[in-house]
Structure 1
């Protein structure tokens, strides 16, 4: 790889580490070249703990990889870098699942076709979207094209391109877009939220501080001009850590909302029966760690009757942080069979497939990544006397707010004394993270239905048809329509 590319990668990672945020790296070119270049870039940057999202047949030898169809198994994991191969097509569900895996100071690497061709290339994955009687030709490329443009013009993203035998480096845009409609660290209204609690909006502009230098930004999503000079990636403001929420008084917790989540779990375990708690958060907020801290404390106690805590999740890997944090407090290591024992009882893991018959007896049931489980199973688990549901909010139907809308009605009917806790402050990276911002924007993860719409009289409402080709350029309309689908 050329010296300019090496320098750009080193500078990009230095910027990420200085801000404790993530950065993006697009490697564009032929599939084989991009995969080899990615391995070299990771070596140059000293990023050793990596995860590749790539078809098994295309994965480089010796790398830790997941097929895009299995990307949900990455929930709960952390890594220095995640490499997503987009040559086989765009899988929004996979990206939504793995976008939270890179920790602060790390990279999200996208392997793509040449930049000039990427937005207009027919998406190879579009066949899976064709539903009878429609054929593949009925699936437009508007969404993949919009996704490509968002990343090409992305904030905190460097592009390495294969061109005529050498590597072309396109500089990163080092500040958030000057768009008043864009929320940099979006806080979303959950269906589990308390209507009496008001969440302040995040500051989206640079501070009025003469000592803070904000680089000029490239505001167009157009392909950058050829750059023959060594690219310098200016570091973004490093005071992001000062923007955190008030610190937790709980010494085991890093934020006040994580402490509130721990307290909610303990209240379920020790308080009145049939008072479930529901914990929701975006990725990287310390939700699974909160479950582990609560479990560690409960198993460290010596009650009259030992506690048998059942932990339900899609996979054992997904709840690794729960076992890790509980084991840290207990000074114990979990067994290979998914159990952890302390003076006051045992934590044991159960996969959904193990719960087909009668539910096992447990003094406390914890469900992590609840949105990934079928609603009938969640309904059965809700019958437990003491139960906590926790889930990551991704925003697509079947997860996140789609889960919230459906499940809240069940909670209200069956257990009206349930309690909601929302974790907002990121822990895995600093606030105002460029990768979170671009993922939310590109995948419409923060889409919400339009608010304040007037009620129209009469039984017949006016209807209007919008051309699909118009929606990528109309952000508010696209967000409102997509948000309506999520809430449907």
Structure 2
């Protein structure tokens, strides 16, 4: 019966150039045996056309582990089996769906579908973050997944042992479907052709599978000329990465140095596979390659370098490294650009020519932030921009039912409410409301809009995040709604409240899941009591793009503070001692969180490889225990930065340093000796030199930056400072940057002069002395002020 069903599923898939899903539900061993039967019945003795994702080992075809199944990226198979028993990871399901070719089968080996939502496995253990236990994790995500399996077309379900006599029974059979169009439509109406006057070799266009893809490759030809940019957008499976790879190979064959970057080397696998194939096809037989492929490959395993005849090459660097444009590449290609931060993408605009390939909807990242936030910057740049949209699927028909099923099951197409429905919303119209999982499950529109905003707010949102939203006991969601439309959403995580034994293990180096801020404060910053207070961390906060800068984010935070900041326990019975947030630090975000009453306690020493930013951690107290926690870590941050800015933080952007220090709540005691004051006064008002007392200048700079005020600062919601007026002892922006770069970071005066636009190093150092004059007025002792009088008179 199973062999017959599998063969029928394969025939239906092949006839429509679509995919089909077989579900074998029940005992695990019987399910794996059924999967073997299905493979043997459909592809026979071709193990290279099948892959399995399982915690078990020893299969006779390609194996992957379910934690991420990233090894399937860039691969296609006729049959992919996902063993859902011991560790069902939603991300792995997305990878498996994407790896099934048109005419192929996805086989799911699952527990009994009625019992599956209540079954707990190793993925659920990852959701049971302390102090919560496995019994606190729910199965809502899997319950919703089961509903989609039982209702979407293209899926058959076999209940193993579900028959009256213990035999297997077909619970559902929705495999046979009429194709949406004619046979010609299903097999693609347009055949790629070589454009007239093309500059890429004919083999580049011969490698294209659709006319859409050929149009994209044609657009990439413009990159051979400086100051051109290409943007390729598509949903998953449309061949945009392949088009980028074909173009990279063609440019390298023409002698160009092509720098490729992506969120990870695995994400760029398809780009390199296509570039390698084109370079191999175009290699000159007279060239002696390093190996019989005609290309060179690094010894790291993943391809990072392809050398082409004639001196061209294709090389990979991480986003943070690529943003430095090392070795002056001729062309930069950014694959999965939507998964990178806008700030990092902006740094790449110094390239001679650049291309961005981005997924509009998919687990690789949402194109929303790219399209809205970055597009306006790109269009305002020096580049001539060409846009290409790919709609035709490469590996399966346009109306493939499994694409629609996966999009719904994993919310790959989640998006915020349409702009027109919220464009006239005002902050005063908004209603604050909780978003409990039960409400989200009961309303697909509410779930899609809320999750769609979370996707748009972050460069990397995955199916695992949907499962966390629905099932993790430590997560809460809150929203602002106008006329039934979600206009802002916050995802919040309970942290801390850990017992002494757990805190001790954490202090001694054990990682404790789901407690980011307590773990940082305990293990890295060496505070064994930091995980005792109970915190509420803002994991993500998002406002609808049509309502940016209208105050919705601040209003939502104010409501969260009001709900959880009182000493009355919230709906979940847990009190909150402090609020926290961790994020990639930019001047704008530092200012936003400072105005919301948050204060800096940490700045990471390294950049995030994907965002290219240093992470800031900030706290806001909500009770006595939280106030004590904030006070001692603000003091520690102040003391670390006094020395750390000239060490690990020497290259941090000066405006990020200014924002982080301004948001530090620690006081800075000034205790200079009389001799040190004479040096400072002499450099400010007389002939003295900065080098005579660098420590004194550093202390004063730190104090000035921590205590600096923004004259245009509005009072933030629930605890931010009141508006202030500047006075004669305030520094302007360039003076503050000068204190950061020269005094605190210790950069060479030549680089500071160039960076801040001084006409000479002498002018720069004179400006440094002038910047200390108001600090003498603000902090100087009576003796220091008397010393000043020697130079300025009465």
TM over 0.5: yes
Verify: 1:361 aligned to 2:328, yes or no. Answer: yes
CA–CA distance in structure 1, aligned partners of residues 394 and 76 of structure 2: 12
In structure 2, the partner of 1:474 is 443
After superposition, what is the alpha-carbon deviation per residue over 1:173-230, rounded to whole angstroms, capped at 9, x for unaligned?
24xxxxxxxxxxxxxxxxxxxxxxxxxxxxxxxxxxxxxxxxxxxxxxxxxxxxxxxx
C-alpha deviation, 1:11, in angstroms: 0.8
In structure 2, the partner of 1:51 is 51
Change (3 A) 1:142 1:6: same
Q: Is the 8 A contact 2:102 2:397 kept in 1?
A: yes
CA–CA distance in structure 1, aligned partners of residues 273 and 112 of structure 2: 38
Verify: 1:307 aligned to 2:256, yes or no. Answer: yes
Residue from 282, 292, 296 that aligns with 2:235: 282
In structure 2, the partner of 1:148 is 146
In structure 1, the partner of 2:318 is 352
More helix by share: 2
Change (3 A) 1:168 1:354: same
CA–CA distance in structure 2, aligned partners of residues 432 and 331 of structure 1: 39
In structure 2, the partner of 1:453 is 421
C-alpha deviation, 1:21, in angstroms: 0.9
Change (3 A) 1:343 1:466: closer
Q: Is the 8 A contact 2:319 2:344 kept in 1?
A: no
Change (3 A) 1:42 1:268: same
Verify: 1:239 aligned to 2:182, yes or no. Answer: yes
CA–CA distance in structure 1, aligned partners of residues 224 and 66 of structure 2: 37
State which structure, 1 or 2, has the greater radius of gyration over its C-alpha atoms.
2
C-alpha deviation, 1:480, in angstroms: 1.7
C-alpha deviation, 1:369, in angstroms: 3.4
Q: Is the 8 A contact 2:118 2:138 kept in 1?
A: no
CA–CA distance in structure 1, aligned partners of residues 384 and 404 of structure 2: 35
SS at match of 1:276: strand
Q: TM-score scaled by structure 2? A: 0.48
Change (3 A) 1:443 1:148: same
Verify: 1:438 aligned to 2:390, yes or no. Answer: no
Q: Is the 8 A contact 1:395 1:401 kept in 2?
A: no
Matches within 5 A, 1:82-231: 82-122=80-120, 124-130=122-128, 136-163=134-161, 165-174=166-175
After superposition, what is the alpha-carbon deviation per residue over 1:275-327, rounded to whole angstroms, capped at 9, x for unaligned?
332323223212122123323433444xxxx3222333423644353235423
Q: CA RMSD in A?
A: 3.2
C-alpha deviation, 1:146, in angstroms: 0.4
CA–CA distance in structure 2, aligned partners of residues 264 and 99 of structure 1: 29
CA–CA distance in structure 1, aligned partners of residues 233 and 19 of structure 2: 22
SS at match of 1:453: helix
Change (3 A) 1:79 1:410: farther
Higher deviation after alignment, 251-260 or 107-116? 251-260
C-alpha deviation, 1:439, in angstroms: 0.1
Q: TM-score scaled by structure 1? A: 0.75
Residue from 239, 263, 275 that aligns with 1:323: 275
Change (3 A) 1:394 1:82: farther
In structure 1, the partner of 2:757 is none
Q: Is the 8 A contact 1:289 1:325 kept in 2?
A: no
Q: Is the 8 A contact 1:397 1:486 kept in 2?
A: no
In structure 2, the partner of 1:213 is none
Q: Is the 8 A contact 2:257 2:313 kept in 1?
A: yes
Change (3 A) 1:276 1:31: same
Verify: 1:24 aligned to 2:26, yes or no. Answer: no
- The structure showing larger relative contact order (alpha-carbon pairs under 8 Å, at least 6 residues apart) is 1
SS at match of 2:312: strand
C-alpha deviation, 1:413, in angstroms: 6.1
Q: Is the 8 A contact 2:2 2:37 kept in 1?
A: no
SS at match of 1:166: coil
